[in-house]
Structure 1
Amino acid sequence: MFDIPELDDMVCTQLSRGDLTQCARVNKTWSRIVVRYIWRHISNLTPLQKNILAGLIFHDHQTLHHHTPATADRNQVSCLSRYGPWVQHLDDTFTLLQLLTSYLNESQPRLVNPTPMDLLRHLLVHCSGLKSMHLRMYDDETARIVGDTLPQLQVLILSGSIKLPVVQDILSKCSAKLKTLVLQFQPLDYLLGREASESNAEELSGLQRLELKDCSRRHISTLSCFWKRCARVETVEITESDMVFFKHLVISIEAHMSSISVICINITSNLNDNHLASLLSASRVGWKSVEINSSVNLGELSLEVLIKHTSTLKCLRLPRCLEVEGALLKRILPSCDKLEAFVVLVEPQMLSMLDAIPTIDAQDFIDLETDSDSLTPWPCEDTLKVLSLEISADSHPFKGQSQIYKRLARFVNLEKLLMRCLFDEYETNGSTILYECLEMSLESGLSRLEGLKKIRVLSVGSLMKVGEREAQWMRDNWPKLREVRGLDKENKMQAQAGMWFLMNCPHMNAFAS
Structure 2
Amino acid sequence: MDNLKLNPLQIPEILLLIAELLNKRDLLNCIRVSKAFHKTLISLIWKKITVGQGGEPGSKAIQKHNEYIEEITFDSYKFNDSFPEKYESLQRLQPITYKGWCSWPKPIHAINQIKAHSSIITGFNVSRAIKYGPDIWNALLECTSLNHLGVMEVTTYIDVEFDLFLQVCKRLRCLELGHVNFLSRENNEYIFPNIHTLRVDSLSICNLNQNSWYCLGMFIRKCPALRLLAIRLSGTTNELYRELLLQHPWTLNNLSDICFREMRIEDKDMAATLRRMTGLRRLDVFWGRFYQLSLQELLADKQEVVENGQLVQKTRLRRLCETVETLVFGKDSSVAQAILSNCPRLKRLEGPKTTVSEIVNGAEWVCSGLTRLSITLEADIDEETEEGMAKTRIAFKQLGKLTRLEHLNLTRRSLYPHSRTLDMRLRAGLGELANLKRLEVLVVEHDAHQRMQLEDATWMVDNWPNIKYVYGALNDEKETADLLKWFLESHNIRIFA
Shift of 1:363: 0.3
Deviating 4+ runs (over 6 angstroms): 11-16, 34-39
- What is the CA–CA distance in structure 2 between the aligned matches of 1:162 and 1:18, rounded to whole Å? 28
1:409–1:19 Cα change, 3 Å: closer
Query: What is residue 511 of structure 1 aligned with on the other side?
Result: 495
Superposition RMSD in Å: 3.9
Q: Normalised by the size of structure 2, how large is the TM-score?
A: 0.71
Query: What is residue 207 of structure 2 aligned with on the other side?
Result: none
Query: What is residue 74 of structure 1 aligned with on the other side?
Result: none
1:248 match: secondary structure: helix
Query: What is residue 18 of structure 2 aligned with on the other side?
Result: none
Is 1:317 matched with 2:328?
yes
Residues 455 and 480 of structure 1 are in contact (CA less than 8 Å); yes or no, is this contact kept in structure 2?
A: yes
- What is the CA–CA distance in structure 2 between the aligned matches of 1:454 and 1:465, rounded to whole Å? 24
Query: What is residue 96 of structure 2 aligned with on the other side?
Result: 88
Gaps of 5+ in 1: 61-77, 101-115, 346-358, 369-375, 426-431
2:255 match: secondary structure: coil
Question: Which residue among 72, 75, 80 is the counterpart of 1:54?
Answer: 80
2:230 match: secondary structure: strand
Residues 217 and 243 of structure 2 are in contact (CA less than 8 Å); yes or no, is this contact kept in structure 1?
A: no
- What is the CA–CA distance in structure 2 between the aligned matches of 1:8 and 1:481, rounded to whole Å? 34
Residues 196 and 221 of structure 1 are in contact (CA less than 8 Å); yes or no, is this contact kept in structure 2?
A: no
Letter in 2 for 1:208: H
Query: What is residue 330 of structure 1 aligned with on the other side?
Result: 337
- What is the CA–CA distance in structure 1 between the aligned matches of 2:53 and 2:262, rounded to whole Å? 37
Query: What is residue 203 of structure 1 aligned with on the other side?
Result: 193
Identity %: 16
Q: Indicate the structure with greater helix content.
A: 1
1:136–1:142 Cα change, 3 Å: farther
Mapping 1:75-154, distance limit 5 Å: 81-82=88-89, 88-91=96-99, 96=103, 100=105, 116-128=106-118, 129-136=120-127, 140-154=133-147
- What is the CA–CA distance in structure 1 between the aligned matches of 2:241 and 2:441, rounded to whole Å? 36
Report the count of equivalent residues.
Answer: 421
2:284 match: secondary structure: strand
1:459–1:224 Cα change, 3 Å: same
1:235–1:458 Cα change, 3 Å: same
Query: What is residue 317 of structure 2 aligned with on the other side?
Result: none
Shift of 1:441: 1.0
Shift of 1:140: 3.9
1:493–1:38 Cα change, 3 Å: farther
Shift of 1:289: 1.7
Q: Indicate the structure with greater strand content.
A: 2
Mapping 1:106-505, distance limit 5 Å: 116-128=106-118, 129-136=120-127, 140-159=133-152, 160-163=154-157, 165-174=160-169, 176=171, 178-184=172-178, 186-190=180-184, 194-199=185-190, 203-204=193-194, 207-215=195-203, 217-218=211-212, 220-221=214-215, 224=218, 227-228=221-222, 230-240=223-233, 245-251=240-246, 255-268=250-263, 271-283=265-277, 285-294=278-287, 296-308=288-300, 309-318=320-329, 321-324=330-333, 326=334, 328-344=335-351, 359-367=353-361, 376-380=363-367, 382-397=368-383, 399=388, 400-420=391-411, 432-461=416-445, 462=447, 464-486=450-472, 491-504=478-491
Query: What is residue 208 of structure 2 aligned with on the other side?
Result: none
Residues 180 and 209 of structure 1 are in contact (CA less than 8 Å); yes or no, is this contact kept in structure 2?
A: yes
- What is the CA–CA distance in structure 2 between the aligned matches of 1:259 and 1:362, rounded to whole Å? 38
Shift of 1:303: 3.1
- What is the CA–CA distance in structure 1 between the aligned matches of 2:217 and 2:144, rounded to whole Å? 19
Name the stretch that deviates more: 132-141 or 433-442.
132-141
- What is the CA–CA distance in structure 2 between the aligned matches of 1:334 and 1:87, rounded to whole Å? 44
1:405–1:329 Cα change, 3 Å: closer
1:143–1:123 Cα change, 3 Å: closer
Residues 451 and 475 of structure 2 are in contact (CA less than 8 Å); yes or no, is this contact kept in structure 1?
A: no
- What is the CA–CA distance in structure 2 between the aligned matches of 1:305 and 1:243, rounded to whole Å? 19
Q: Normalised by the size of structure 1, how large is the TM-score?
A: 0.69
Residues 184 and 214 of structure 1 are in contact (CA less than 8 Å); yes or no, is this contact kept in structure 2?
A: yes
- What is the CA–CA distance in structure 2 between the aligned matches of 1:439 and 1:410, rounded to whole Å? 18
Deviation readout 1:38-86 (Å, 9 max, x if unpaired): 99343345xxxx3xx33556xx8xxxxxxxxxxxxxxxxx567447967
2:398 match: secondary structure: helix
- What is the CA–CA distance in structure 1 between the aligned matches of 2:224 and 2:375, rounded to whole Å? 35
2:324 match: secondary structure: coil
- What is the CA–CA distance in structure 2 between the aligned matches of 1:5 and 1:196, rounded to whole Å? 55
1:337 match: secondary structure: coil
Deviation readout 1:3-22 (Å, 9 max, x if unpaired): 5575564489798858755x
Shift of 1:364: 0.4
